[in-house]
Amino acid sequence: MVFPVIHSTLDPNALCDEIARRYTLPQPVRCRLMSRANNDFYEVSAGGSRYALRVTKANFRPDGEYLFEQAYVAHLHARGCHVPAPVPGADGSLLFSVEAPEGQRSVTVMQWLAGVPFTENLTSSDAHDMGAALARLHLAGEGFSCAEPRLISTMKSLKERLPDLLKMLTEHPDDCAFYEATTHRLDEVYEKIDAGDVPQGPVHGDYQFANVLRLDSGEIGMLDFDTCGIGYLAEDILTFIWRSDMEIQDEAVNRSFLDGYESVRPLNKAETRLLPIFRLTRDLIMSVSYAMLINRVGPVLGFDGDFGPFTDLARRHAAAAGLD
């Protein structure tokens, strides 16, 4: 019997053969593993050109959601955004699937973006540029439609994944009670959001500094649209803030990011009022998602197993949102 596995690393040589067969790329094709996490990324070189290749985690999304993602990225690229546009295969398809031991995984070849990802050392000026770029991304998303819309329901995901976090924190009953009660309160707030007041549209879904590049041209590039979908535009701002809260811890950087965003797309009153709620929701969704995936990827760099700082931050933001 083959032992059940939850994640695998595809053999790069077999992947090369598959790419050479499915794409009309110049020979020789080489694949090199660049990063191994929830999704695995490879650098593909073919005839002097570079591409990025993503192999998604198995059994996480239906094909339709990946098709939405690639269509959205292709749309953004056509609108002038610096994103890794999917490279069509010889048959015109933007992705294909392989049967890995743990289940079906989706594979996409994308254009290579030449640049350097931002780190926690980014400046307020960088944050301003990144905020403005996110707003342009939101504006560029207007008019995008897809036969199978991928709808983001943050509360649905939060409620589905909460048990994983509670299981991880069994030795901290006070924290468990906080997370349960806060999720319940957030659910009530989301129920009351007037969709007419809070604009929705295609969003990146994970716009944090590690997914943003300073391109060699000096412009801003964006990566990793894995969690994109149709959601509240203002909610999409808070992933940057979440990562910033964890690693930069400088409100001036957060403010600069928001200023940059609003310099391109000013927030309306309802959106501004909801920012503290969306900030708290982002804290919780990241924590529950981490708990759900921890046994697939292993500990995350910089997280030493002490969940206390995450909980402290969420408690602080719950108080700021009036939900403590």
Q: If binding is defined by CB under 8 A, does position 184 make contact with other proteins?
A: no
Cβ within 8 Å of residue 315, ≥6 positions away: 178, 324
Neighbours of 37 (CB within 10 A): 13
User: DSSP secondary structure string, 76-113?
Assistant: HHHTT----PBPP-TTS-S-EEEEETTEEEEEEEEEPP
Minimum distance from CB of 307 to other proteins (Å)?
A: 13
**Of positions 173, 298, 309, 322, contacts other proteins by CB under 8 A:** 298
Q: If binding is defined by CB under 8 A, does position 47 make contact with other proteins?
A: no
Q: If binding is defined by CB under 8 A, does position 145 make contact with other proteins?
A: no
Q: Exposed, middle or buried by CB within 10 Å (0-12, 13-18, 19+), for 127?
A: buried
Output 99 or 306, the one with its CB closest to other proteins: 99
Q: If binding is defined by CB under 8 A, does position 193 make contact with other proteins?
A: no
Q: If binding is defined by CB under 8 A, does position 20 make contact with other proteins?
A: no
Q: In this structure, what DSSP letter does residue 313 have?
A: H
Tokens 């079906």, residue located: 104
**Of positions 28, 62, 64, 101, contacts other proteins by CB under 8 A:** 101
Q: If binding is defined by CB under 8 A, does position 295 make contact with other proteins?
A: yes
Cα–Cα distance for residue pair 281/276, rounded to 1 Å: 9
Minimum distance from CB of 229 to other proteins (Å)?
A: 27
Q: If binding is defined by CB under 8 A, does position 33 make contact with other proteins?
A: yes
Q: Which stretch binds other proteins (CB under 8 A): 10-18, 121-129, 270-278, 308-316?
A: 10-18
Cα–Cα distance for residue pair 101/76, rounded to 1 Å: 34
Q: Which stretch binds other proteins (CB under 8 A): 93-101, 120-128, 256-264, 266-274?
A: 93-101
Left if phi > 0, otherwise alpha if psi is -120 to 50, otherwise beta: which for 100?
beta
Binding site for other proteins (CB under 8 A): 1-12, 14, 18, 31-36, 40, 98-102, 105, 294-299
